[in-house]
Every structure is written in structure tokens, then in C-alpha cells.
Structure 1
Amino acid sequence: MIKVLLVDDHAVVRTGLNLLLNSQENMEVVGEASEGAEGIKKAQETKPDVVLMDLSMPHGKDGLSSTSELKKILPETAILILTMHDDEEYLFRAIQTGASGCVLKSAPHSELINAIQSVSVGNAYLHPSATKKLMEEYLGNIKESGSDLFELLSEREKEILTLIARGYANKEIAEKLIISVKTVETHKSNLMEKLQMKTRPELVSYALKKGLLGYGI
């Protein structure tokens, strides 16, 4: 049985969540609170597995500061942020405070149930658009750093990139590395995808900037 504590400043929202979660065979709402400080107190009393924490609570302690404080007191308790904001700033701040994930208040009931089950066993959960934003942020950071991109390549892909920069055709690369032309084409396609490039000239230019003409084969 997953014990859940609800922390939300809207009584109507808490009532709806209470009905939804208590209707699940493996979930039980063990308490409710209308703001963060009360939520922290109730959490210490009830020792929930998961706290559903509203992000924006104008009266009293807000969700982010409450999450940060509660994780210090009950580090094993998973905190799932409920938010109306599909905003990466709120998302990153929530994760930094120790939340196990975020769910939009507009999400389907099934998504909320899945999220609670996921964080209750130690996993993280992000709503789909949040996952996309995190990936875009990660890829954006990688794109800004050529060294990081280069490290994504396997040794074979680095060899093939170097030979491309030296002017070898696919057939010549295949003969030099004693592999099939199809294998060369596969590696070339993979490395172009990792480097986010679409043409051979782009690869050659990148390889020259990376100083790969002196890369050992």
C-alpha cells in the first residue's frame, strides 16, 4: 500500500485527489495540508511514501521551499510536484530541491497514478513535455561543447571520421579497416547523427577543427 500525503491550497483539488487515490487498490491518502509548513508537520506525523506537493501555494510556505526542507527531514519520502506551469525554470528548480518528479495538474488521471507508483519505488518521473525540455537542454549543452560531442563517438566512428577528413571514399575506408562498405555507411550515419551533421563537408570541417588529421589509425 502506497501512503500518500496531499499538500495543496485548494480544498476542491484535495477532495478530488483523495477520491481518486483512495479508489486505487494499492494507494491510501494518509493526510492533507493546505500549505507547506502544515504539510511538513503532517509528513512527520504520517511518514508517507509519497507527498503530492502543489508548486504554487500563495498563503504559507510554497512548494519548492517545502520540498527542500522536507527532504532534509524525511530523505526517503518521495515528493511529486503538482504544477500548472509547463515551464522549464520551475521544472529545474523542483528537481534541484530534491523532488522526484513533476506532473501537470492538467494531466490525465492515469498519468498521475503512474507517476505516484514510479516515484514510490525510487524512480524519477517527469511529464512528457518536461522530458523533452530536459533532453533539449542536455543536447543544447552538448552542442556548445565540441569535446563532449566527440566523446560520444565510438573508437571505430572516430577512425572513420578521421579517414573521411583525409579524403578517403567509403570503399577505400572499408578496405583500410577490413570491414564492409555497408558497415562503413552505418558507422558514418551514426556518427553524423551524434554530431548533428548532415553532409560530408560538415564532417570534414569538424574533423579539421578537432585536429583529427593527426589522430592515429
Structure 2
Amino acid sequence: MSEANEPTGTVEPGDGGAAEPDAPAGTPDAADAGPGRRVRVVLVDDHRMFRTGVQAEIGQTERTGVEVVGEAADVDQAVSVITATRPEVVLLDVHLPGGGGVEVLRRCAALMADAEQPVRFLALSVSDAAEDVIGVIRGGARGYVTKTITGTDLVDSVFRVQDGDAVFSPRLAGFVLDAFASTDAPPIDEDLDRLTQREREVLRLIARGYAYKEIAKQLFISVKTVESHVSAVLRKLQLSNRHELTRWATARRLV
């Protein structure tokens, strides 16, 4: 069964027992986050094993202060679980079935803007591609860290995001500043901005040589919907066929 169809909902935190006197080296400690502090977190990633690993690493609530209250494997699940649990922080993967992390951010915009109980997002991804980083930051995420981060640093990042800070992996921080502040930053691609997030996903897969049926399976949509998206992309970019589309995407390093 595809992970996108797996049951989701509230996840019980760790056993809640007292911490052992000698914790393993490198284990995140709640003391680092401040006495008695707690943060409720939802994990959004389409790889079950990765979610399980993060849960085991940071979800020992009595030790880390992090309570994992829900998990999701695709966009629809993420929006449903986040809306139901209203966590303080969401750890969000960038590449997800159903539209990606940017689509989750778009559909949760009202929750992020809630003055009384804002839901804040921290991207946690294997990707350090410029387009991915800028995309989720523009979408409203408070930070972006890669999956090479240690458990201790991830706990610290979660609490900092809860406090409203912006958090980035060291190499990405300078990149983000350059992208948003430098007068030498690359101009916005107006052609690419005409496309919706889903159209961009279909564009990339077409450019990578995927057949319509493969794209439909990858994005959990029908072949007819894929065809509609391809037609829309060709029309908006004023291209004639998928070969021209592939050259267009390759020239912009989107493949």
C-alpha cells in the first residue's frame, strides 16, 4: 500500500518515563530548551522510515520537550492533521505527493497568520536546491534545515521556530540572504511564475522523460488530469510539444 494512503492522526509521545541518569551521548536534552518547555510538533514526510527515525530521535517528550502529535505522508493528510492538531511547529518535507511542501504552506496560510495561535513551519529536507529553499521561504516557512542535522540541533531549531526566529542550516543562511537582499540576485522568471505549483511538478516530470501514466501515479492524480496540466503548461509557455518543453526546462536547470 502506498504511504500516502496509510492511516494518520495523533501519535502518542514516548513512554514519558524519567530520563536515565546517563543519557547516550548526543541525545537531545530538554534542559537545552529551557526548564519545563514543551512544543507540539507534526511530522510531514512521505518516507515512513524517516518519520519513525525523527520520532525516535526527538520525540522523547520528557527528555527533549518535543511532543509529536501527528504525522502525514502527503499534502492532503498534512493539511488535515495540521488543522486538527494545531501544533506550534510543523517539520515539513519539500517534496510531497499532492503538490509539495509549498502547497501545504499555501493551504495553511490562515493558520500561519493566526495572531493568537500561529502554526509555524520548519522545512526539513534532503534537498538544498535554490528553487526548493526559496520556494518554501516565500511560502511562509520560518526556516530550512537539511536532513544531515543532528537530533540536538533539530530540537534547538524547533524551539527557535516556536519562538518566531528564522532558522537555517549554516550554508543556506548566506544563500537565502543573497537571494532576497542582493541587488545581484537572479531576476524572477516571469514565464515560470505563470505556472501553478502542480503545473511545475508535471513540467519537471515530463522533462525527465516520465510517461503520463507514470506522472499520474507519482502525483496521485488521473492521466486525464496530467494531460490537462501539460496542455496548460504548453499554452502558458507558448510551446508546441513535450520536446520543446524539455529543452525549455533544461535551459532553466529545472530537470
Work out the CA distance in 2 between the residues paired with 1:21 and 1:89.
Answer: 28
Shift of 1:137: 3.8
Summarize the alignment of residues 68-107 of structure 1 with structure 2, pairs less than 5 Å apart.
Answer: 68-75=106-113, 76-107=118-149
**TM-score scaled by structure 2?**
0.52
Higher RCO (CA 8 Å, separation ≥ 6 residues): 2
Work out the CA distance in 2 between the residues paired with 1:60 and 1:104.
Answer: 21
Give 1:14's aligned residue.
51
Give 2:39's aligned residue.
2
Task: Please identify the structure whose Cα radius of gyration is greater.
Answer: 1
Residues 29-38 or 109-118, more deviating:
109-118
What is the CA deviation profile of residues 160-212 of structure 1, one whole-angstrom value per residue up to 9, with x for unaligned ones? xxxxxxxxxxxxxxxxxxxxxxxxxxxxxxxxxxxxxxxxxxxxxxxxxxxxx
Shift of 1:138: 5.6
Shift of 1:109: 1.9
Q: Is the 8 A contact 1:52 1:82 kept in 2?
A: yes
Amino acid in structure 1 at the alignment position of 2:147? K
Distance 1:133 1:30, change over 3 A: same
Work out the CA distance in 2 between the residues paired with 1:137 and 1:22.
Answer: 34
Structure 1 runs, 4 residues or longer, greater than 4 Å off: none
1:112 to 2:151 alignment? no
Residues 65-74 or 22-31, more deviating:
65-74
**Paired residue for 2:173, among 102, 124, 131?**
131
Q: Is the 8 A contact 2:66 2:155 kept in 1?
A: no
Give 1:166's aligned residue.
none
**Paired residue for 1:25, among 50, 54, 64?**
64
Work out the CA distance in 2 between the residues paired with 1:105 and 1:87.
Answer: 13
**Paired residue for 2:81, among 39, 42, 54?**
42
Shift of 1:25: 3.2
Amino acid in structure 2 at the alignment position of 1:21? I
Work out the CA distance in 1 between the residues paired with 2:144 and 2:54.
Answer: 16
Unmatched segments (≥5 aa) in structure 1:
144-217
Q: Is the 8 A contact 1:71 1:77 kept in 2?
A: no
**TM-score scaled by structure 1?**
0.61
Please provide the CA RMSD for this pair: 2.1
Work out the CA distance in 1 between the residues paired with 2:181 and 2:78.
Answer: 37
Distance 1:138 1:122, change over 3 A: closer
Work out the CA distance in 2 between the residues paired with 1:6 and 1:82.
Answer: 9
Unmatched segments (≥5 aa) in structure 2:
1-37, 186-255
Amino acid in structure 2 at the alignment position of 1:117? F
Give 1:167's aligned residue.
none
Q: Is the 8 A contact 2:124 2:147 kept in 1?
A: yes
Distance 1:47 1:137, change over 3 A: closer
Work out the CA distance in 2 between the residues paired with 1:9 and 1:138.
Answer: 29
Work out the CA distance in 2 between the residues paired with 1:84 and 1:96.
Answer: 19
Work out the CA distance in 2 between the residues paired with 1:120 and 1:138.
Answer: 23
Work out the CA distance in 2 between the residues paired with 1:138 and 1:47.
Answer: 30
**Paired residue for 1:62, among 66, 91, 100?**
100
